[in-house]
Amino acid sequence: MSQRGGWLGVLLLLVLFGAGGRALWLWLDRPLERVSIGGDLEHVSADYLRDRLSPLLRGHTWLSVNVSELREQALAVDWIAEARVSREWPNALTLELVEQVPVARWNDDSLLNSRGEPFAIGSVSPPGGLPDLAGPEGSGAEVLAYHERLATRFAEMGLELTQLRLEPRGAWRFQLNDGVWVMLGRGDREGRLARLTAAWRRQLERQASHIRYIDLRYPNGVAVAWHGEVDPLGQDGTDEG
């Protein structure tokens, strides 16, 4: 009899604990009343982010929000590079966000961060003066790294590298000072660039405003197309040579 009474006591205790736990959960699990968004935000506003994050919280209460899942959803929002989500007693959430830092335009409709990873522009106006880069999917880091090398090289000549393109079959072309296009091609890039440097310093610099493009895809020397003349290649200079 005492053993059965002991089991009944344990069962009653578990029921009380269960009821108390449920009551405690219901007391703690309050409607969300405040969502704070923080971080060093330069290009996007808190309102922009709040508009995109608010739908992710609809129908959730303070305890029902899965903070890990909310973090992953926040990372999918344009311009968000990192996110930390935490609960604040008694009915608030805090999101600490790290903004993407754009270093270049990418394929006309995206931006690149410093790791060469593309992200969507969205409705945010990117900063001006970014170099214009393009390449096949997955080539962002390669194109960005080569841009940095070329930009340093041409800066020593007083030139700005404003565009760089990697074509699907591996040929490179770039633009200097928002004007002169250079067809670099694929092979012997260092040798071709050396010929360009020599020709530029010797003659082409003085005639830059009249140059349409420079073609380096020859075993020796360079070919120059001038504004107003028929393109001898009959193309835009994007072959694989």
Mind listing the pLDDT tens digit for each residue in 191-202? 999 999 999 999
DSSP string, the chain: -HHHHHHHHHHHHHHHHHHHHHHHHHHH-PBP-EEEEES--SSS-HHHHHHHHGGGGTT-BTTT--HHHHHHHHHTSTTEEEEEEEEETTTEEEEEEEE----EEETTTEEE-TTS-EEE-TTSPPPTT--EEE-STT-HHHHHHHHHHHHHHHHTTT--EEEEEE-TTS-EEEEETTTEEEEEESS-HHHHHHHHHHHHHHTGGGGGGGEEEEE--SSSS-EEEETTS--TTSS-S-S--
Residue stretches of the chain with pLDDT short of 70:
1-29, 229-241
Please indicate, yes or no, if residue 220 is contained in any of the structural domains.
yes
The pTM of the whole model exceeds 0.75? yes
Please indicate, yes or no, if residue 207 is contained in any of the structural domains.
yes
* Residue finishing a domain among 99, 124, 156: 99
Q: What was the pLDDT predicted at 148?
A: 97
How many structural domains compose the chain? 2
Give 98-149 pLDDT, tens digit per residue. 999 999 999 999 999 999 999 999 888 889 999 999 999 999 999 999 999 9
The whole domain housing 119 covers 104-226
Q: Are 85 and 138 found together in one domain?
A: no
* Residue finishing a domain among 47, 71, 99: 99
